[in-house]
Amino acid sequence: MKAIISDIHGNLEALRAVLDDIDGLGVKEIICLGDVIGYGPDPKECLDIIQSVTNLNILGNHEEAVLYGIPPNFTPRAKKALEWTRKIVLEDETESPELRESRRKFMMSFKVQTRIEGVTYVHGSPRGPTREYVLPRDAQDKKKMKAIFDCLEDFCFCGHTHTPGIFNYEGFTHPSDMFDLYMLGSDEKVLINVGSVGQPRDGDPRACFVTFDGDTVVWRRVEYNIEPVVEKIYAVPELDNFLADRLREGR
């Protein structure tokens, strides 16, 4: 059994709640699909915890932007948050150069994508591992979905959109329509979004992740105290208040 988490986005309270839930399940293997940082007020703390608990880390577009430069398609709000995140994570002169460099090296060790025991792990999609969004509405775009599934051998876990669910040839299904459980078939292609720990966007503010035993995917939702995160975001001028307000509504 393994736990697969994604899109923590500097939300320390959500991460701690999810890790407590994982520990309570007795799960020892944790895979993170990227975007540990960005948007949230505690990027350093989240990175340091992830470094100590995960077995595999996938590169998210926010780690990529902090390490290699912010792409032009980021919104002004996201760009401003990332510039602040880079300063906090990599340029904080109150910390030792060795500590800052260790964080940089840790993020640089994140894999763009990987395949283990017949399962692919990416941040975005098998066609665009770091940056491509596959949204629920894309299930109606047959050309896009065909191109994505042509790059997929069978099963693939992803994050990036903060919206949990599965994509297969029949379309998109949210976990709430599957009793939060999906059994993998032997001869199918399926893209499985694990949802977001730190910034859900499916109308449910609870942190989201999955467990996976090789056959069955189970989505889990975990309540946490959102208000301290909201207050910390409000206290950082570079982080737009919208990034805090959306947490209350899971949007």
Domain spans, the chain: 2-249
Helix (H) or strand (E) holding 88: helix 76-90
CATH of 2-249 given 3.40.120.10, 3.60.21.10, 3.20.20.10, 3.40.50.1000: 3.60.21.10
**For every one of its 251 residues, what pLDDT tens digit does the chain have, with 9 covering 90 and above?**
999 999 999 999 999 999 999 999 999 999 999 999 999 999 999 999 999 999 999 999 999 999 999 998 899 999 999 999 999 999 999 999 999 999 999 999 999 999 998 899 999 999 999 999 999 999 999 999 999 999 998 999 999 999 999 999 889 999 999 999 999 987 789 999 999 999 999 999 999 999 999 999 999 999 999 999 999 999 999 999 999 999 999 99
**pTM for the whole thing?**
0.96
How far apart are alpha carbons 79 and 39 in whole angstroms?
9
Q: Cα dihedral sign for 149, 177, 203, 27?
A: negative
> How is residue 198 written in tokens?
């730190």
How far apart are alpha carbons 222 and 145 in whole angstroms?
31
Strands (E), the chain: 2-5, 29-32, 56-57, 114-116, 119-121, 155-158, 165-168, 171-173, 181-183, 190-193, 207-212, 216-222
